[in-house]
Chain A
Amino acid sequence: MSESVRGFVNRGDRSGASVPLRGVLLPYLFWNALKKQWRIMRSYGFNFVLQVASLVLFFGLIYFGARVLVGPNSARFGRTIEGLLIGYWLWIGVIMSWSVFAWSVIQYAQQGLLEQLFMTPWGLRGILTLEAAASFVLDLLLNLLLLVVFMLMSGHWLRLEPVTTFLLYVATLLPGYGIGYALAGLAMRFKNIQSLFNLMQFFVIGLQAMPVDRYPWLNVFPFAQSTRMLIQHVRMGTLWWEFSWQVWAIVLAQAAGYLVFGLWVYGWLERAARERGLLAHY
């Protein structure tokens, strides 16, 4: 018996009982996923710079458009800019949150990697979740940098308490991850869904602007409530423990609901893709 097989047998792998998966290996796995995401981001450096530049340019267009429409010296403009900064910043975060799933599936399918990533003890869903967690770290750093750039461009500095901001940022993104799982499933089953992404980017703007104060039932849709909470934090200095338990319940229910829904859709579509032998197709 060769050394590699002997070593394998001695690890007791065949019983499936003694390999230290999951809990012990998670930090190591996360670190490797983070390194991989960073390396690939660097490899596509030019494209990355262009994407960042387009986000900054787009902010410039909306900001200067708002100045023209509202007038730069009115109190209303100050409130508008706060809403614009927070809304746009969260919008970027939401788009990043679901893109990491759906674009990953599309790119992996094109590279022939979907099947390889499926063939792990964690499964494809586990690997995508891990990579989303790694991307969250990198995207958060980028998004914070972008917020600073936007504030510099507008000359308007937001007062943000870190813990409140972080909690509301995550609460906004969690439904986005849920939608991302569903989009990943769609990408696996139907492959070319880039047009759907483009449509949904605009859809998010509408969702953020939903009048949930006036029509509470609109809270079945995500993003609006948490966006309002963060804007309230910026305007009135409300800290995370000062929000009512009801609004936190809504935000957490949205997060849980969309995550569960997204995971369910993903599971159903992954089974459909395997039934049709589509994991290898692109």
Chain B
Amino acid sequence: MLALEVQALHKTYPTKPPVEAVKGVSFVVPEGQIVALLGPNGAGKTTTLKCILNLVRPSGGQVRVYGRDHNDLPHLYRHVAAVLEGNRNIFWRLTPRQNLEIFAAYAGVPPRQARQAIDRWMAFFGLEDLPRETRNLSRGQQQKVALAAALVKETPLLALDEPTLGLDVEAKRELVNLIRRLARDEGKTILLTSHQMDVVEALADRVIIIQDGRIIVEDSPEGLRRLFDIQAYRITVQLGSAELPPAFVSRWHARVEPRVNGEMVLRVTLAQPQALYRLLDDLEALGALLRAVEPDLPDLEEAYLRLVQTAPAAASEPGTSVS
């Protein structure tokens, strides 16, 4: 079943002059997947998310959540919970448990189920020993409280807007692991926005890149990397104490990394695959001992940067590559 279907979503803010923030976005989120909306600031990803949640009135298009139109608000909010803008979604003058109690009640979760859900999510996030008011907790703990407050509503779909923003490395890693467990072990469907590549790469089954209000590409993280699977190589050589001649480096536009244990790594991008043989011949002529030749795939961040810099202005249908 599809947890979420978005068709031709449009949003124009009635400012002077009007701002068209979302220009015909269409995508689906199957149950059980983690789908990430990625894009630069002002791309329209948060507006897209808030239109789906009906927090912002769309100008056009259709959104269906578990088969029903998202304007059926009671149905919508029994099926999706959200954590927006980091840790500012909670009552700061209440303790974590008190926050979960009030959010469960407001979500219409019956009392007995609410107690069970509260105990479960408090344990899941390790919040049991925090009797202090939420305003006195660390940012990472506050974010966990915000997540738990959303989860206590027991909705199958979870929307997360920049969930790791402002967290330190350790807190971010912990939260990423928790989110992954939510999808894998708890069966939650998750739609998240982020511009942190490591988070998206660690979590997303599918990545939708939005720029200027349109989807420019939609694929798995691996698929996005392979879009730029060109003739790029990482060559490890042993050259003793000698350096590579500048003429060689210049001719092949090689990026030379610092030596490690006497070995040197060159990164080159070639116009044709056959050029690799000429390069290897040149290295042999210099007396270099070849240790390894590997394809040099760009990481997700590099793939993303190339996509947003080279995407055409016209809209693309989801699933097609950008040349």
Residues of A within 8 A of B (CB): 1-5, 7-8, 13-14, 16, 19-21, 25, 28-29, 32-33, 35-36, 39-40, 43-44, 111-113, 115-123, 127, 271, 274-277, 279-280
Contact = CB atoms under 8 A, between A and B. Distances in A.
Interface stretch (B82-90, B169-177, B240-248, B315-323): B82-90
B105 interface: yes
A169 B79 CA distance: 41
B65 to A, nearest CB: 10
Contacts of A271: 57
Q: Which 5 A-B pairs have the closest CB atoms?
A: A112-B88, A2-B187, A32-B105, A43-B93, A121-B74
Contacts, number: 132
Contacts of B89: 112-113, 115-116
A120 B106 contact: yes
Interface of B: 13-15, 47, 50, 53-57, 66-68, 72-75, 77-82, 84-85, 88-94, 98, 101-103, 105-108, 110-111, 113, 133, 149, 154-156, 185-188
A40 B74 contact: no
Nearest to A21: B108
A29 B108 CA distance: 8
B79 A14 contact: yes
A8 B56 contact: no
B106 A122 contact: yes
Contacts of A7: 113, 154
A280 B84 contact: yes
Contacts of B103: 116
Contact of B185 (A2, A33, A113, A127): A2
A33 B47 CA distance: 31
Contact of B108 (A19, A113, A274): A19
Contacts of B186: 2-5
20 contacts: A2-B188, A5-B187, A16-B75, A25-B105, A28-B110, A35-B101, A35-B102, A40-B91, A40-B93, A40-B94, A119-B55, A119-B77, A120-B106, A121-B108, A123-B73, A275-B56, A275-B57, A276-B13, A276-B14, A277-B47
B74 A21 contact: yes
A39 B75 contact: no
Contacts of B187: 1-2, 4-5
B53 A119 contact: yes
A36 B90 CA distance: 12
B107 A121 contact: yes
B149 to A, nearest CB: 8
Contacts of A119: 53, 55, 77, 80-82
Contacts of A43: 93-94, 133
